Amino acid sequence: MAKITITFEDCRDEQGKPSVNVDMAGVPTTAFGQHIQTAAVRMYRTVFDLVAGERILGSIPACRLQPSTQTLH
């Protein structure tokens, strides 16, 4: 069983942004230190990829003008 804890805090860091912490200490690893691909690890990576994609799209001027969607799929 893998346990991944993602913590969002309202306290602001030096750059004025909310802080986000990821604790993957509960995720089993292989002998080489890589995380074993469990359902929780795959879900975490999907969420991470979605956030990274949103950040990249937000840096494109034409996409930055579009309102972000609040729809959960």
| Confidence check: pLDDT of 10 > 80 | no
Is residue 50 situated within a structural domain? yes
CB 60 within 8 A of CB 24: no
**Domains identified in the chain, total number:** 1
| Confidence check: pLDDT of 16 > 60 | yes
User: Which residue is listed with tokens 């969607």?
Assistant: 69
Is residue 72 situated within a structural domain? no
Tens digit of each residue's pLDDT (9 = 90 or more) over 27-68: 888 899 888 888 888 888 888 888 777 777 767 776 656 666
Domain range for 11 = 5-64
More confident residue, 40 or 17: 40
Query: What secondary structure, in 3-state letters, does 23-61 show?
Result: ECCCCCECCCCCECCCHHHHHHHHHHHHHHHHHHHHHCH
Query: Between the CA atoms of 3, 43, 52 and 5, what dihedral angle is there, to the nearest 10 degrees?
Result: -20
Is residue 36 situated within a structural domain? yes
Is residue 23 situated within a structural domain? yes
What pLDDT, on the 0 to 100 scale, is given for residue 22? 83
Is residue 13 situated within a structural domain? yes
